[in-house]
Amino acid sequence: MLHKLRTSTLFLSGILLGLTIAVGHSVFALKDSEEIPFEDLQSFTEVFSRVKSDYVEPVDDKKLIEDAIRGMLSGLDPHSAFLNTSEFSDLKIGTTGQFGGLGIEVSMENGFVKVISPIDDTPASRAGIQASDLIIKLDDKSVKGMTLNAAVKIMRGKPNTDIELTIVREGESQPFVIVITREIIRVKSVKNRMLEPGFGYVRISNFQSRTTTDLLKAISDLQKQDPLKGMILDLRNNPGGVLNGAVGVSDAFIDDGLIVYTEGRIDDSSHRYVATPGDSLNGAPLVVLINGGSASASEIVAGAIQDHKRGIIMGTKSFGKGSVQTIQELRNGSAVKLTTARYFTPNGRSIQAKGIEPDIILSTLRLPDQDEKSRQSYSEKDLDGRLSNPDGETESGSKGSEKENGEELAQSDFQLFEALNLLKGLYILNGRSS
């Protein structure tokens, strides 16, 4: 038995060495100064053989090797992973922007699934899932020990089927359950509306290949309604997406200079992205809203706007995902998702694990409802025997309408309400200084 075990170990060592050399030449070429760790590989093959011979139940060779690869990659960082052929196929389906699921961007933290952000107009968003929520159970299955890919596979499924998520949320004393019905997720990247005459609002929920085109169309549509005096760009709970989308959105507001650059160990992972002439707002004031669910590509945009002093960043600190992942397909149809570079803002700041600090910190607040009587205000015009105004006392109806709209906005989205007030102030200040 011992002789067979040694023979098996030596044979497997030969196979692994061959694989290491083959993969090394084709994808992960070792530098001349690096050596193949023969002793460590021998330890690996010894453990492999012991599992094969001594484990209480027979284990498939393919499963053992696949699990070893998963462990190797997951030990690097939360975003590197191994994708078998089925998982790689699911990923490619997911990138088409249409699949059955919940609508959340997730990562792993301490063995649990952490919500980076819910996506707008999806079941997760409507159910009240929040950025930084920890998912500890999917139906009756604990996620502890699961890979991220396995958890995502469970959350995806046929439309109109339910799944129970057990959530741990900061500020809540006990875990609680949210039941979500899966839907076909169709993500519309860009939405826009006019908050008040001349003050536009554009929401980007994630970055896709068409996001820049859709943004420019949204700004054009707003300009047709009323020449823009300023604009709010809402990147809250935007988990990121396509890098070129982030570069294009930044370029829409920045006239020249560096937008973002990446640095890695190999030449292919180091790039510099520079703005082209032109500003879609023609210099009008810009306020960018971010929060803890703003990650990756969102942080690239916020960092570029901030470094170029093109606008005011407002809200709470962003997520801090400043790394680049590349998908590298392997010969058997599986793939590795590998972190290959870091993002840096134009001024050389790394986003990784730090995020973007807003210029103006503004937490999410909800104003308490007040009854109509308590909201009534009195002024000179309400006093009996007051002097009349020589210019007349007729009030503008639009002012009253704007006040009502402002009160409604303050109740529904206080951060956006404050961003609008800031935008008005910037417009007034620019008008006085010109």
* Catalytic residue ranges: 296, 307, 321
In the structure encoding, which two tokens stand for residue 168, read together?
Answer: 């741990």
Dist. CA 166–CA 178, nearest whole Å: 6
Contact 250, 239 (CB under 8 A): no
Q: Where are the alpha helices (DSSP H) in 55-104?
A: 61-74, 85-94
Say if CB 104 and CB 123 are below 8 A apart: no
Specify burial of residue 179 (Cβ count, 10 A radius: 0-12, 13-18, 19+).
Answer: exposed
CA 86 to chain centroid: 25
The two most distant CA atoms of the chain are separated, in Å, by 112
**What is residue 389's DSSP assignment?**
P
| Short-list 419, 48, 352, 378, CA closest to 203 | 419
CA 390 to each of CA 81, 239, 385, 387, 394: distance values in angstroms, whole numbers, following the listed order = 75, 56, 15, 9, 11
DSSP code of 411?
H
Q: What is d(CA 322, CA 324) in angstroms, rounded to the nearest whole number?
A: 7
Exposure on the CB side of residue 407, measured as CA atoms within 13 A = 11
Q: What is the DSSP letter of 119?
A: P
115: amino acid identity, one letter: V
Contact yes or no for 103/125 (Cβ under 8 A): yes
Give the CB-side neighbour count of residue 22, counting CA atoms within 13 A: 8
Query: Which tokens go with 195?
Result: 């908050």
Let me know: does 235 contact 298? Beta carbons within 8 Å. Answer: yes
DSSP letter for 87, please. Answer: H
Please give the structure tokens belonging to residue 106. Answer: 């997730």
Residue whose structure tokens are 């484990």: 55
* Cβ(422)–Cβ(360) below 8 Å: yes
- The secondary structure of 299-314 as a DSSP string is HHHHHHHHHTT-SEEE
Closest of 359, 352, 345 to residue 254, by C-alpha: 345
